[in-house]
């Protein structure tokens, strides 16, 4: 905004001071428009105009104008944060008579200015809000999420670090589905974000009960971040989570499934996750674990026609293929009824070697009545 425009604002509010609180068709004041556009000098002139005309206005008119909501339920601070205007945010917070302005949420989706600032990807705006002397700066977002959920989705490590430094409690915040920011980051396979949450710069959580509790937190389906990482096939994140919290590997979801069950039940090919478990002796107890329906990971891999995962599990030498589920079926019984196994079962003795895929040579023979495996 040029000097002439700023001078015009001064002339107008001195001659027509009532225009400072006038609304347009969208329910916005001049302050809304200036904040949205990021015109910090215009914002300063408007606030100065209100202060100069307090004798003509109600005692609390300054706060009323700053806090006025438009038809979308947003005040000037929301708009400035939403569009990443850090200087405007600083000006509004400095001049607002009520220090609780930064805790006000939008009416439409219950989003705080801090959440909106994160979504704008403006690091400077996030810092401006967190630098505010009010300790009540809200981080709330829609659907129960907080600003760290948003930063995790955006995979913005700088914002994640800033939020964790100023508001470490956000790491354990849950949304309406009880998902934490760690769930979000694990779902996206965002290794650097998962690492930042587990190992914040201000305090290392490795081996610490707080860090372990983050990995162990379960969403509304009973899934941990480990379950989610396994579901999406992010084995690098799976390794990182287990390293931070080894005991979390044993946690079951509401169906009684471990993360290995999830990896085997997913429609995609989760060979890296299954192979990771097979090669890790500390996780071998999971190989024959049964969910609430009595299914082992082998049952689920067979049911989904995941040949490579079946081979990897059997080749471990630790899997008991004769385990029956609640329906009295073994993994082989299930395999016989799946279309994807039809051609392999057409010949009772079907050898298969996957040197490159599995990292070792294994020949598996599926036969009526059982399963044989031998390392080649």
Give the 3-state secondary structure of residue 372.
strand
Banded pLDDT at 339 (limits 50, 70, 90): low
Is pLDDT of 341 > 60?
Answer: no
pLDDT in tens, 128-181: 999 986 667 899 999 999 999 999 999 999 999 999 999 999 999 999 999 999
At 104, list the tokens: 């006000």
Distances (CA, A) of 304 to 8, 107, 266, 370: 71, 45, 8, 19
- What DSSP string describes 144-187? G-BHHHHHHHHT-HHHHHHHHHH-GGGGG---TT---HHHHHHH
User: What residues does 367 pair with on adjacent strands?
Assistant: 370
Residue-wise pLDDT for 49-81, tens only, equals 777 766 655 656 778 888 899 999 999 999 999
Closest CA to 85 of 136, 134, 126: 126
pLDDT value at 7 more than 70: no
pLDDT tens readout for residues 283-298: 999 999 999 999 999 9
In a domain, 43, yes or no: yes
How many CB atoms neighbour CB 52 within 10 A? 15
d(CA 12, CA 3): 14
Greater model confidence, 7 or 192: 192
| Domain final residue, candidates 125, 144, 163 | 144
Q: What is the pLDDT of residue 266?
A: 75
Let me know if residue 210 belongs to a domain. Answer: no
- Judged against a pLDDT cut of 80, whether residue 8 lies above it is answered with no
Q: Is 120 helix (H, G, I), strand (E, B) or coil?
A: coil
In a domain, 223, yes or no: no
Range 322-348 average pLDDT: 74
Which one of 127, 144, 161 terminates a domain?
144
Contact 136, 172 (CB under 8 A): no
- The pLDDT value recorded for residue 367 is 38
Among 144, 167, 182, the domain-final residue is: 144
Q: What is the DSSP letter of 364?
A: E
Residue 183 has pLDDT above 70, yes or no: yes
Residue 85 inside a domain? The answer is yes
Helix (H, G, I), strand (E, B) or coil at 140: strand
CATH number for position 330: 1.25.40.20
| pLDDT beyond 80 at 279 | yes
Over residues 10-26, mean pLDDT: 65
pTM for this predicted structure = 0.84
- Pairwise CA distance, residues 78 & 366, whole Å: 63
Please tell me the predicted confidence (pLDDT) of residue 271: 76
How many domains does the chain fold into? 2
Amino acid 208: pLDDT: 57
Residue 193 CA to residue 153 CA, distance in Å, equals: 9
pLDDT digits (tens, 9 = 90+) for 216-275: 999 999 999 999 999 999 999 999 999 999 999 999 999 999 999 999 997 655 679 999
Does residue 103 belong to any structural domain of this protein? yes
In a domain, 333, yes or no: yes
| Residue 157: per-residue pLDDT | 97
Domain that holds residue 323: 282-376
Mind giving me the DSSP string for 339-351?
GGGHHHHHSSS--
**What pLDDT score does 372 carry?**
46
Rounded CA-CA distance 123/87 in Å is 12
- Residue with the bigger pLDDT between 18 and 358: it is 18
Residue 70 covered by a domain: yes
User: Residue 248 falls within a domain, yes or no?
Assistant: no
- For residue 360, pLDDT beyond 60: no
Task: Give 73's DSSP letter.
Answer: S
50 within 8 A of 20, measured Cβ to Cβ? yes
* pLDDT value of residue 18: 62
Q: What is the mean pLDDT of residues 95-124?
A: 91
Find, among 46, 140, 51, the residue nearest to 129 by Cα.
140
């Amino acid at each position: 905004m040029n000097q002439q425009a700023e001078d015009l604002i001064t002339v107008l509010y001195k001659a027509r001071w009532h225009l400072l609180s006038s609304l347009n068709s969208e329910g916005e004041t001049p302050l809304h428009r200036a904040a949205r556009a990021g015109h910090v000098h215009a914002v300063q002139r408007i606030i100065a105009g209100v202060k100069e005309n307090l004798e003509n206005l109600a005692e609390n008119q300054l706060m009323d104008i700053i806090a006025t909501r438009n038809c979308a339920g947003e005040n000037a601070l929301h708009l400035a944060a939403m569009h990443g205007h850090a200087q405007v945010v600083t000006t509004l917070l400095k001049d607002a008579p009520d220090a609780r302005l930064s805790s006000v949420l939008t009416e439409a989706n219950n989003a705080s200015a801090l959440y909106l600032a994160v979504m704008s990807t403006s690091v400077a705006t996030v810092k401006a809000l967190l630098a505010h002397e009010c300790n009540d700066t809200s981080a709330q977002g829609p659907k129960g999420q907080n600003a760290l959920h948003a930063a995790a989705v955006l995979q913005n490590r700088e914002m994640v670090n800033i939020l964790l430094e100023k508001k470490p409690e956000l790491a354990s915040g849950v949304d309406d589905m009880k998902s934490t920011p760690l769930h979000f980051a694990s779902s996206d396979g965002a290794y650097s974000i998962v690492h930042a949450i587990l190992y914040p710069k201000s305090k290392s959580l490795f081996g610490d009960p707080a860090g372990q509790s983050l990995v162990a937190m379960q969403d509304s389906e009973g899934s941990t971040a480990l379950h989610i990482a396994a579901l999406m096939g992010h084995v690098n994140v799976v390794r990182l989570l287990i390293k931070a919290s080894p005991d979390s590997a044993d946690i079951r979801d509401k169906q009684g499934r471990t993360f290995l069950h999830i990896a085997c039940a997913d429609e995609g090919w989760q060979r890296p996750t299954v192979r990771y478990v097979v090669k890790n002796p500390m996780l071998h107890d999971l190989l024959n674990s049964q969910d609430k329906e009595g299914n082992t990971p082998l049952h689920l891999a067979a049911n989904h026609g995941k040949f490579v995962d079946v081979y990897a599990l059997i080749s471990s030498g630790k899997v008991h293929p004769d385990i029956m589920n609640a329906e009295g079926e073994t993994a082989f019984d299930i395999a016989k009824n799946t279309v994807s196994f039809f051609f392999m079962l057409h010949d009772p003795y079907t050898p298969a070697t996957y040197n490159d895929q599995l990292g070792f040579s294994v020949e598996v023979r599926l036969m009526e009545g059982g399963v044989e495996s031998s390392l080649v």
